[in-house]
Amino acid sequence: MLAIKNLTKSFKTRNAVDNISLDIPDGQMVGVIGRSGAGKSTLLRMINRLAEPTGGSIIFDGRDVTALKGRELLEWRANCAMVFQQFNLVGRLNVLTNVLTGRLYHHGLIASMFQVFTPAERAFAIRALDRLGMAHTALQQADTLSGGQMQRVAIARALAQEPKIVLADEPIASLDPMNAKVVMDALRTINREDGIAVICNLHTLDTARNYCDRVIGLFEGRVVFDGPPSALTEQAAREIYGAEADEAFSESMTSTTLKPAGTEVPAERLTEADLQQRARAELLAG
Ligand SMILES: Nc1ncnc2c1ncn2[C@@H]1O[C@H](COP(=O)(O)OP(=O)(O)OP(=O)(O)O)[C@@H](O)[C@H]1O
């Protein structure tokens, strides 16, 4: 169980996340919705510790993850796998190696650096790919895949981490409707079959309604809705989306193209290479 208490993240004078408290039980599929800039990514990134909270705490199974350092922090990041909008695969590596990078924490530093993985680990990674219908691409270079295929590989990599939670930050925002459905179906399957909690940032309403047990609506960093999809009335949706409500109602499952101009987020997005380098540096630093 993940317990978020009074979590806040300030950037200069603005609170991107403003005093949020949430309990997420094991195995729940949660959709976080809200207009552009509502604080969805910042919330997820704090859970994974890619962003440091300004205040509050994040407790998982009784441990305050905001206080973790070194190896314990790596263990936490292995426990809560991230899936990103832009997939964050290493394009020049083959699909299997990309999935095996998900074993970094379990595998050990030196072996990972030299990409020496055991047959059992390779079999584990192939099984993860197979669940996503991607085993046939194992030896293909990652940058030759389509966007939808890349996201399925990214989910396989997340599975290779053997996570307790999957955090998906707008995982379908760059995909066409067909691939978006495949990816959301995959997340739902993992959630159902493995009992892994999935917290999924979604720009649009209908995907959250269709796929999630629980919908959390953010507006200007605060929770303005928290309930089952059935309770998400038009009035509640208008409160979440404000002036963008009509767009949110009419958008298809994948569209994120209707963001107002000038709302691009200057967040310090990290690539997988950045994450690995950071993980290794932290390991070496003890
Ligand atoms: N590194 C940063 N520096 C300054 N401001 C930031 C940073 N990251 C986020 N913000 C601001 O915090 C607010 C919340 O951003 P966040 O990316 O969490 O929103 P979001 O709901 O995920 O939006 P989107 O749907 O566009 O991704 C925005 O006003 C954004 O400009």
Residues 11-25 have pLDDT tens digits of 988 999 999 999 999
Q: Which two tokens stand for residue 235?
A: 């009035």
CB 42 within 8 A of CB 54: no
Displacement of CA 71 from its chain's centroid (Å): 21
- What does pTM read for this prediction? 0.85
Distance CA 277, CA 157 (A): 17
Distance CA 37, CA 18 (A): 13
What residue's CA is closest to ligand 1, atom 2?
267
* Reported confidence tier of residue 255, pLDDT bands at 50, 70, 90: very low
DSSP lists the bridge partners of residue 80 as 165
Distance 270 CA to ligand 1 centre (A): 14
pLDDT the model gives residue 286: 39
User: What are the structural domains of the chain?
Assistant: 2-254 (3.40.50.300)
Q: Tell me what the mean pLDDT of segment 52-67 comes to.
A: 95
Distance 129 CA to ligand 1 centre (A): 32
Distance CA 213, CA 245 (A): 22
CB 186 within 8 A of CB 152: yes
pLDDT the model gives residue 246: 72
Q: Where does ligand 1 bind, in terms of residues with CB under 6 Å?
A: 11, 16, 34, 36-42, 203, 265-268
57/271: higher pLDDT:
57
108/50: higher pLDDT:
50
As separate numbers, helices (DSSP H) first and strands (DSSP E) second, the chain gives 12, 10
Best of 254, 265, 268, 269 for a ligand 1 pocket test (most atoms within 8 Å of beta carbon): 265
Distance CA 248, CA 258 (A): 9
Which atom, in ligand 1's list, is nearest to the CA of 218?
Answer: 21
The answer for 233, left when phi > 0, alpha when psi is -120 to 50, beta otherwise, is beta
pLDDT the model gives residue 106: 74
What residue's CA is closest to ligand 1, atom 18?
39
Distance 17 CA to ligand 1 centre (A): 9
Which atom, in ligand 1's list, is nearest to the CA of 43?
Answer: 18
Give residue-wise pLDDT tens across range 154-210.
999 999 999 999 999 999 999 999 999 999 999 999 999 999 999 999 988 899 999
pLDDT the model gives residue 33: 96
Q: Is pLDDT of 271 > 60?
A: no
Average pLDDT of the chain to the nearest whole number: 86
Q: Tell me what the mean pLDDT of segment 118-122 comes to.
A: 88
Distance 189 CA to ligand 1 centre (A): 29
pLDDT the model gives residue 131: 92
Give residue-wise pLDDT tens across range 77-119.
999 999 999 999 999 999 999 999 888 777 666 665 666 788 8
CA distances from 127 to 104, 123, 132, 282 (A): 17, 6, 9, 29
How many angstroms separate the most distant Cα atoms in the chain? 55
